[in-house]
Amino acid sequence: MEKKIQYTVSIYTENNVGLLNRISAIFLKRHINIESFTTSECEIENVFRFIIVVEMTESGIEKVIKQIEKQVDVIKAFYHTDEETIFQETALYKVKSNSLFEERHIQNSIKESNARIITVNPKFFVIEKTGFRHETDKLYNELAPYGLLQFTRSGRIAVTKSKMGISEIINKFKNQKKKKK
């Protein structure tokens, strides 16, 4: 049996309504669980980047990447291992305000984990921690005993160590178009 590994999938796309559906359907059809999914405009104007985290075999992810690239509005898709990317997640923790003043441990945890308090009011305060999964998990485990009012974690955001070359693809297309004219 081929081993399943965590992969970060990066997809560069045109801004097209519905593309999200097309891409998620490719995973759905194959019963692949998406562990995290984020999308934003990337460094190139009007080009969007999806970051998807999945656990799959390498031969499986290769096929999925080809199916994604086959979509007309996808410029290019890649997959990378954790070692090939720099990635982070952000977590928000909402805690009752009196625990902050009554429990010294909380203050220590915040300091030690390099977390940030982003809002304080008489009823609650909100802590933000950006880091690896095990770091946000650690803070979660430390805060949970004092009662978390709410907890949420973002999808992974990642950049790769290697070059993506999206501008090259776009410029090549521009030049071809010029030549045709």
**Are 38 and 155 contacting, i.e. CB atoms less than 8 angstroms apart?**
yes
Binding test (CB under 8 A) with another protein, winner from 39, 57, 67, 130: 67
Binding test (CB under 8 A) with another protein, winner from 1, 2, 72, 178: 72
Residues of this chain, 105-164, that bind another protein according to CB under 8 A: none
Please calculate the CA angle 113-118-122 and round it to the nearest 5 degrees: 115
Q: Which residues, 6 or more positions from 53, have their beta carbon under 8 angstroms from its beta carbon? A: 6, 7, 8, 9, 34, 35, 36, 37, 155, 156
Q: Which is nearer to another protein, 58 or 112 (CB)?
A: 58
Q: Which is nearer to another protein, 69 or 137 (CB)?
A: 69
Say whether residue 70 binds another protein (CB under 8 A).
Answer: yes
CA distance 141 to 126: 16
**Are 21 and 34 contacting, i.e. CB atoms less than 8 angstroms apart?**
no
Stretch that binds another protein, among 59-67, 109-117, 125-133, 152-160 (CB under 8 A): 59-67
- Contact positions vs another protein (CB under 8 A): 13-14, 17-18, 21-22, 25, 29, 59, 62-63, 66-67, 69-70, 72-75, 169-170, 173-174, 176-177, 180
